[in-house]
């Protein structure tokens, strides 16, 4: 019997999938492009993510028992399904690299500079492998813990930094123009892409597919709200110029926060709470890629492919994070060019081309 | 693989992965820096760093009475190098513990070094992941080394005393509370230039134990104005009055004291010759509004203050009401003078925007700012800043009328 997750679990997974990278590395990159408008860029990206999620949900409601690969295979033939599967593997390979950059640079740059990079990669990948070995439901339940951590972190950070908030730092809005801000939102789009692409792979595991459209879109909206707090605070407390200076902007924010005399610098709190979200991301990237690979090859179970995928992804992740310049270059320049055509293109193509195969999905 | 074999494999993996921690720092291996001073080194272009390091075994016990060790709660050491990092590493040549920056409370920069430029300090301490962004940054005209070694304040560790001096400096509002976060923001800003608090040592401590070494007066660190920077190079000082005027523009002013001569009850006389009056600004709003008519930029700085009458040090036959009404115009004039002096110093003495006027103009006139942003440093000294003060003395605090002798 197929593993099922609740709609609440789907929302938790979506929020976790976008959170860890979106609050830190993405905001630093967007601050360099959009300045104080990075919070607007985040909201624009959220709207785009909601649209793509809606397209995915509408597409999948045609064949609610199938994921995107099976869907493509049913409507357009096996090779089309395989092609979509390979594109999904490529996407999650890149996504895993971006998650590793987030995970490793948070921990290594601020806590354990002497630790070999390989250890971070092994730990991150091993936890992901261990989680998905027990199936999607385990990761989905873990995402609830991640959701609690995200809420706790947001509340703590707000308490620790609101007193230094200066709204003037957010003004004037659209100082670099709407187009420039919208273009900068592509970096946050890559975060939403991880959530939408994941949903395309696990949609058929959700208990109530009818409610799923709402859950998916709401997941993106809630995730967007939990993330939007960060660029607003980062610009208002640190200033957009300072935010743009750092690789991991959210850790700089954590270094500046304090509650009263007793709770100084939040780095430890931050890592404790954010790590859950990062580990959910590694687990889901590995899960979706293993599932896609098993469907490309034609295996019934994804588990035999977990280890090879983990080795491939781990190796790629290690190579990516070895050099900070290379990693940031990949994240800010190359990754959006790979992620966005896939994340926007596959759902839109399947949705639109699906109308040409209306008979097939109505008969199915 | 059977369940027991899997368990054994897991156990073996755990044993290999949990034998120790990478990058661990045992607390008794750390030399915790509590304050740091930066001076020019003896060789040209070099830096001398002085670190005040806590000696934990001697910080225990009652204040002023350490219970163990050598009795000195701090160990102050210095090192020199071509860069800050090299100077710190030179301390490692003789320190028995690893120098640890996470608890550093304050960075004191000597005036000569500040005039040379503080970019290296700003960059180094921003990159240092151990350092807090809340670390205060100040300038002194004396040697920073001396300030770091000075035993000041009530706390066992002078670095902690200095930290608390700034934490509670809102009570006097006489020096900017600049930390690494705000210094970085001002340095990176398109229009605003940094300011740092000035500290100096001054004989303040009086011991009640006759015959003790501390009998008489010993120097303590106190706030004494503001250092003005252009980008990363110090240009000069603002005195205490100008510093008070500056704070309205750059940070919330929680409390301020204004001292004025007593007005006379006799209309023939202007002011009573003896005694003074203290007024405390309790609540205030300060707003700067930019104006642009297409040619000329100007600003209106509007201060609205609620003031309490907290001390009347003279005999007066005026009622509280009359006294407060008479003082209102005087306090307005005094506050206006302070702000005007500050604007004058920023525009004409130093010619740098330390008042955040460029930022305010940018916020309200973004399109116009794009045209003038490159010329802002030339335009800033020419802009007109009009000061409007609304000051109401609202409360005589507890007393219905000023104290008068009953005879």
CB pairs under 8 A between A and B: 55
Interchain proximity A114–B366, CB inside 8 Å: no
Check residue B282 and give its pLDDT.
86
Tens of pLDDT along B120-152? 999 999 888 888 888 999 999 999 998 888 887
Residue A212: the pLDDT is: 67
Distance from CA of B128 to the nearest CA of A (A): 9
pLDDT value at residue A69 = 93
What's the pLDDT score for residue B121?
Answer: 92
Mean pLDDT of chain A: 90
Q: How many Å lie between the alpha carbon of B274 and the closest alpha carbon of chain A?
A: 43
**B349 CB within 8 Å of a chain A CB:** no
- List all residues 6 or more positions away from B48 whose beta carbon is below 8 Å from its beta carbon: B38, B39, B40, B41, B42, B78, B79, B80, B87, B145
Per-residue pLDDT reduced to its tens digit, B306-327: 988 888 887 777 777 888 888 8
Mean pLDDT, range A161-178, rounded to an integer: 88
Residues facing B237 on adjacent strands: B227
Among B1, B129, B131, B358, the residue to mutate for chain A (most A Cβ within 10 A): B129
Q: What integer pLDDT is reported at residue A201 of this predicted model?
A: 93
B29 and chain A in contact, CB less than 8 A: no
Q: B239 near B223, Cβ under 8 Å?
A: no
Cβ contact A327:A65 at 8 Å = no
The structure tokens listed for A287 are 């899960």
- A180 closest CA partner among A38, A340, A34: A34
Residue B145 CA, distance from chain mean position: 19
Q: How does the average pLDDT of chain B come out, rounded?
A: 85
- Is the bond preceding residue A67 a cis peptide, omega within 30 degrees? no
Higher pLDDT, B18 or B302: B302
* % pLDDT > 70, chain A: 98
Higher pLDDT, A113 or A312: A312
CB spacing of A239 vs B189 below 8 angstroms: yes
Tell if the CB–CB gap between B181 and A164 is shorter than 8 Å: yes
Q: Domain A16-362 adopts which CATH fold?
A: Amino acid/polyamine transporter I (1.20.1740)
> Which pLDDT score is estimated for B65?
47
Strands B297-312 and B271-292 turn out to be: antiparallel
**pLDDT tens string B67-120:** 445 567 888 899 999 999 999 999 888 888 888 888 899 999 999 999 999 999
Which residue of B lies nearest to A266 if distances are taken between CA atoms?
Answer: B132
**∠ CA A116-A119-A121 to the nearest 5 degrees?**
115
* Cβ contact B188–A239 (<8 Å): yes
Q: Is the pTM of this model over 0.90?
A: no
Tell me which residue of A73, A24, A33 sits closest to A229, measured CA to CA. A24
Rounded to an integer, what distance in angstroms lies between the CA atom of residue A227 and that of residue B69?
A: 51
Percent of chain B predicted with pLDDT > 70? 88
Check A109 against B134: CB less than 8 A apart: no
pLDDT above 90 covers what percent of chain B?
Answer: 46
ipTM of model over 0.90? no
Task: Domain ranges for chain A, please list them.
Answer: 16-362
For B363, the enclosing helix (H) or strand (E) is helix B357-364
Contact across the interface for B363 and A113, Cβ inside 8 Å:
no
Q: Whose CA is closest to B125, among B166, B87, B172?
A: B87
pLDDT in tens, A105-119: 998 988 888 888 999
Chain A contacts of B363, Cβ < 8 Å?
168, 171-172
Most confident of A158-172, A309-323, A349-363, B255-269: A309-323
pLDDT, tens only, B256-301: 888 888 876 555 555 555 688 888 998 899 999 999 988 899 999 9
Question: B196-229 pLDDT, tens per residue?
Answer: 999 988 777 766 665 555 545 678 888 889 999 9
């Amino acid at each position: 019997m197929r593993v099922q997750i609740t709609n609440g679990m789907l929302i938790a997974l979506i929020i976790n999938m976008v959170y860890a990278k979106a609050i830190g590395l993405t905001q630093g990159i967007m601050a360099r492009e959009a300045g104080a408008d990075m919070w607007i860029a985040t909201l624009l990206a959220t709207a785009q993510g909601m649209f793509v999620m809606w397209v995915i949900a509408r597409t999948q409601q045609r064949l609610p028992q199938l994921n995107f690969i099976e869907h493509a295979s049913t409507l357009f033939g096996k090779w089309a399904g395989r092609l979509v599967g390979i594109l999904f593997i490529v996407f999650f390979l890149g996504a895993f690299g971006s998650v590793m950059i987030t995970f490793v640079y948070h921990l290594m740059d601020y806590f354990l500079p002497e630790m070999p990079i390989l250890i971070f990669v092994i730990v991150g990948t091993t936890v992901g492998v261990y989680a998905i070995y027990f199936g999607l439901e385990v990761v989905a339940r873990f995402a609830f813990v991640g959701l609690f951590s995200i809420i706790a972190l947001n509340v703590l950070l707000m308490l620790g930094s609101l007193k230094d908030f200066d709204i003037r730092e957010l003004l004037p809005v659209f100082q670099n123009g709407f187009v420039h801000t919208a273009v900068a939102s592509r970096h946050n789009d890559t975060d939403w892409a991880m959530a939408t692409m994941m949903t395309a792979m696990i949609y058929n595991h959700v208990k109530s597919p009818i409610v799923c459209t709402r859950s998916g879109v709401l997941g993106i909206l809630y995730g967007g709200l939990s993330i939007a707090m960060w660029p607003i605070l980062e610009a208002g407390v640190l200033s957009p110029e300072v935010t743009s200076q750092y690789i991991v902007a959210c850790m700089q924010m954590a270094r500046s926060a304090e509650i009263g005399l007793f709770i100084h610098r939040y780095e430890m709190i931050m890592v404790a709470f954010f790590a859950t979200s990062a580990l959910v991301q590694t687990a889901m990237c590995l899960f979706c890629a293993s599932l896609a690979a098993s469907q490309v090859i034609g295996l019934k179970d994804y588990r035999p492919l977990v280890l090879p995928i983990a080795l491939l992804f781990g190796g790629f992740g290690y190579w990516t994070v070895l050099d900070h310049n290379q990693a940031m270059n990949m994240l800010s320049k190359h990754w959006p060019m790979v992620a966005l055509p896939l994340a926007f293109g596959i759902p839109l193509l399947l949705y639109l081309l699906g109308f040409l195969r209306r008979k097939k999905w109505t008969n199915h | 693989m059977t369940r027991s074999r899997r368990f054994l494999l897991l156990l073996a993996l755990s044993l290999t992965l949990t034998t120790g921690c990478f990058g661990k720092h045992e607390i008794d291996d750390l030399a915790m820096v509590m304050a740091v001073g930066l001076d020019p080194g003896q060789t040209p272009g070099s830096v001398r760093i002085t670190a005040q390091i806590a000696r934990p075994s001697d910080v225990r016990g009652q204040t002023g009475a350490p219970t163990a060790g050598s009795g000195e709660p701090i160990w102050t050491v210095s090192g020199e190098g071509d860069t800050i990092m090299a100077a710190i590493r030179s301390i490692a040549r003789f320190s028995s513990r690893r120098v640890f920056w996470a608890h550093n409370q304050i960075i004191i920069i000597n005036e000569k070094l500040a005039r040379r430029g503080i970019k290296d300090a700003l960059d180094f301490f921003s990159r240092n992941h151990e350092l807090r962004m809340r670390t205060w940054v100040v300038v002194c005209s004396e040697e920073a080394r001396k300030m770091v070694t000075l035993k000041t304040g009530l706390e066992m560790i002078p670095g902690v005393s200095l930290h608390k001096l700034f934490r509670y400096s809102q009570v006097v509002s006489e020096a900017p509370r600049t930390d690494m976060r705000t210094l970085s923001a001002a340095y990176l800003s398109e229009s605003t230039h940094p300011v740092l608090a000035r500290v100096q040592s001054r004989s303040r401590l009086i011991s009640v134990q006759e015959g003790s070494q501390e009998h008489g007066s010993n120097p303590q660190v106190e706030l004494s104005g503001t250092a003005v920077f252009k980008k990363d190079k110090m240009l000069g000082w603002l005195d205490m009055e100008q510093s008070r005027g500056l704070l309205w523009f750059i940070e919330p002013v929680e409390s301020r004291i204004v001292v004025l001569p007593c007005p006379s009850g006799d209309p023939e006389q202007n002011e009573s010759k003896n005694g003074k009056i203290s007024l405390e600004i309790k609540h205030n709003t300060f707003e700067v509004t930019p104006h642009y008519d297409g040619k000329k930029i100007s600003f209106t700085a509007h201060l609205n203050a609620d003031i309490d009458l907290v001390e009347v040090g003279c005999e007066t036959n005026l009622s509280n009401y009359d006294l407060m009404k008479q003082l209102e115009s005087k306090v307005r004039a005094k506050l206006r003078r302070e702000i005007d002096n500050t604007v004058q110093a920023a525009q004409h003495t130093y010619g740098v925007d330390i008042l955040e006027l460029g930022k305010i103009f940018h916020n309200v006139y973004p399109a116009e700012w794009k045209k003038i942003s490159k010329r802002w440093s030339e335009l800033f000294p020419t802009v007109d800043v009009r000061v409007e003060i609304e000051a109401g003395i609202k409360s005589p605090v507890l007393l219905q009328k000023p104290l008068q002798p009953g005879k």
